[in-house]
Homo-oligomer: A and B are copies of this chain.
Amino acid sequence: MKGSERIKVKRLPARGAYDRDTIYAILDEAFICHVGFAVDGQPYVIPTGYARIDDHLYIHGSSASRMLRTLSEGVDVCVTVTLVDGLVLARSAFHHSINYRSVVVLGKAELVANREEKERALEAFTEHIIPGRWPEIRWPNELELKATSVLKLPIEEASAKIRTGDPKDDDEDYAMNVWAGVLPISETIGRPIPDSRLGNGIAIPPHITSYPRKK
């Protein structure tokens, strides 16, 4: 990982991590990123899905979208992924915090022109969000492939930032009669809602009933 000055976690540096294992574990658990790019000096931050294949992050969207067109010109981009794990409730307002794991990737995105790589990325988007679904669905046809742009960003200049555990209060505040601790937050998957046009007799497949994503 490139140890550039600008990617370093400067505030509370003990929370920073730069190893691929830590960074990839966060990228592989989440599935929504926030993509930052500037147009005429104005930053935009857009939520979108993504997938990781080896040391690249892939995003995709309509070939007509401003974000995809802007990014494919090779501008500087920042992709941030955040998992929220809990509310950190301290005795003092000042030490309230959030337990979280986040990753920031800086770099320049590149349009994926190679057909095979593009299809592999499209498969990865679906499989990252819901493993086991790709073999069951209709794959993209020529028109759909043309209408979709896929971009890749090397995971070279990246950092993770992680906060876990108890609140850290000032010494004199520990004597206060205030409940302190962590209120955990996790994502829960609800009961599948069938499409109103779902054909009769189509059962919920195992890749949905055993959906593994949990925070």
Residue-wise, chain A 10-40 has the 8 Å CB interface mask toward B (1 for contact) of 1100000000000000000000101111110
Which residue in chain B gives the minimum CB-CB distance to A105?
A: B45
Instruction: Tell me whether B82 and A47 are in contact (CB under 8 A).
Output: yes
Residue from A10, A77, A89, A122 whose CB has the most chain B CB atoms within 10 Å? A89
Which residue in chain B gives the minimum CB-CB distance to A82?
A: B47
How many angstroms from the CA of A149 to the CA of B195 in the assembled complex?
Answer: 48
Residue-wise, chain A 62-99 has the 8 Å CB interface mask toward B (1 for contact) of 10111000000000111110101011011111101010
Residues from chain B with a CB closer than 8 A to the CB of A104 are 44-46
**Which residues of chain A from 45 to 66 have any CB-CB distance to chain B below 8 Å in the complex?**
45-47, 49, 61-62, 64-66
Residues from chain B with a CB closer than 8 A to the CB of A195 are 166-167, 180-182
- 24 example contacts (A-B, Cβ-Cβ < 8 A) are as follows A6-B39, A34-B36, A36-B43, A36-B78, A44-B78, A45-B45, A45-B80, A45-B104, A47-B82, A92-B138, A93-B137, A93-B138, A94-B148, A130-B183, A137-B178, A138-B178, A166-B195, A180-B195, A180-B197, A181-B194, A183-B192, A183-B211, A185-B188, A186-B188
